[in-house]
A and B are shown apart, each in its own frame.
Chain A
């Protein structure tokens, strides 16, 4: 079908295009600012007429995530998107998806909280995304896009990882990336997987109708015997260790000879890259480490930086200090770690980050 196309699009619109183009089978969502353009774009694109993808507006985020659960349990490539308060409602469902080891993609275009909060961008859901959010010991693979192009690319990557490890993937964006327009190269249309391909890939677990299978498949997370539930947990933890060893993704910017390093993800990382340029112009040896996967977190790269003599880190986040805990855990007290953030939807600019860096680390 279509060749590579360069467009100017909002991050949210791109999510929709990327979903259709990577062969997604179903989207289930509920409107919430600042991400409503995802479903609006899908409805405009009418993929049910082209690829056969199902798009459905649910009656709530609770229903959306359980539709995702239902679709994922049958082996289909399904997704939802929401923003912070909606993702809170989805937390129970995410725990079920993780427990049943079902692949899916959840986009959180974060807004300021807690509570109803604001529709302005925030990164206040780092804990929720990376440390569980729902009940029980589980993880999601969390990808943090920092550009509209990455909003596009991480849809397919999120699905790929979700199916590779049978785990829900989360794309943790924010209102700024969702609402921002940038140049984006859209990938060519991929066909949706055929029933045979799904049977090959997911036949051992997908509850899509027994067909000619001898053994039925059941998606359940109920284990009334504690030792059985512990076995599930042990398996999950082994999987998480494997993901931690294989799937860490990050980007370094001017870190080679850096004495100090900013650690920032998503839109914060974009802002911080300008801070780094400003600092370098002043002769300060500052770099930026941008975690692309928030879970698994880039622990080793941080430790290697400590080993090669980085004196301090500033974790720059649009929140009260969440990722900074993971930076501190990685650094293990061997270098200075500080946090700078704004909350409630207030966004810092490169100048204020530089000032905070000087105040907190250079003094």
Chain B
């Protein structure tokens, strides 16, 4: 491969300042890297580098703390919203957000998530929903679609056997303490731009003391789904998005 000389004046794109030099462990085609980038950009643009406390989950994004250059707390599986609750209450001036997948948030962490939202904690959850457990090797998660094949639903998710998937964002939107709930994706440049706006809005919402915010990002897991990145994007559009439609689900203020 020919050496390409990089000149500042030729640069039209750069790694965000707050993304560290650590080589990411995510699979090629995974959505995590894109969402990390958006978060790093928004924190930088809002000037929040010095007063952000981020909480990482257990799952593929367990190492999120290696990639975004802010203070992090690595939570036990499912407990990110409890960890963030305390961090925020003890540091009310800071931005506190959790970064969680569907296994961490919607299965083992359901109680912590619902109660943080119900209390109207001024925290943000970035919820990566790829309908599968990635880290442990592609098992069924609560948001796995009916019929979807995973390591623990090898014949496809069967409602009688495995129960039904549920919509986290719609469920949380019922709670008075949750004021900004939106569902986004990062599978096209337009969606990436929208997602970034949503993350910024969520951060602003929480810093304004307006209760709980969640940005759900419908995401791909091409490794877990056993597809190429391109196939995964297509499969997501055709299957996941009808089940988890994009757009703002709730924009409100806390009840008086």
Contact = CB atoms under 8 A, between A and B. Distances in A.
Q: Determine direct contact between A and B, CB below 8 Å.
A: yes
Contacts of B65: 218, 220
Contact of B52 (A209, A212, A222): A209
Nearest to B115: A59
A212 B71 CA distance: 12
A68 B49 CA distance: 24
A246 B81 CA distance: 38
Given A63-B111, A70-B55, A78-B86, A216 B73 contact: no
Interface in B24-55: 49-53, 55
B75 interface: yes
Nearest to A73: B73
Interface residues of A, number: 37
Contact of A66 (B52, B63, B72, B79): B79
Nearest to A93: B76
Contacts of B90: 25-26, 54, 71, 74, 76, 78
B73 A63 contact: no
Given A70-B87, A209-B50, A216-B69, A96 B82 contact: no
Contacts of A59: 111-112, 115
Contact of B71 (A58, A60, A68, A208): A208
B111 A74 contact: no
A2 B89 CA distance: 27
B153 interface: no
A210 B71 CA distance: 6
Interface string A248-289: 000000000000000000000000000000000000000000
Contacts of B73: 69-70, 73-74, 207, 218-220
Nearest to A55: B89
B74 A68 contact: no
Contacts of A96: 76
A306 B83 CA distance: 48
B76 A69 contact: yes
Nearest to A217: B71
B62 interface: yes
Given A66-B83, A67-B85, A207 B71 contact: yes
B76 A70 contact: no
Contacts, number: 125
A186 interface: no
A63 B89 contact: no
A207 B72 contact: yes
A208 B53 contact: yes
B112 A63 contact: yes
Contacts of B85: 56, 63, 67, 70
Contacts of A220: 56, 65, 72-74
Contacts of A73: 73, 83, 87
A54 B111 CA distance: 21
A218 B89 contact: no
Contact of B74 (A208, A212, A218): A218
Contacts of A92: 76
Interface in A201-256: 207-212, 216-222
A207 B86 contact: no
A206 to B, nearest CB: 8
A62 interface: yes
A28 interface: yes
Contacts of B55: 70
A211 B49 CA distance: 8
Nearest to B54: A207
Most chain B CB atoms below 10 A, which of A54, A63, A217 = A63
Interface of B: 49-53, 55-56, 62-63, 65, 69-76, 79, 82-87, 89-91, 94, 111-112, 115
Interface of A: 25-26, 28, 54, 56, 58-60, 62-64, 66-71, 73-74, 76, 78, 92-93, 96, 207-212, 216-222
Given A66-B83, A68-B86, A74-B86, 9 more contacts: A54-B90, A56-B86, A63-B79, A67-B82, A67-B86, A69-B73, A71-B90, A74-B90, A209-B70
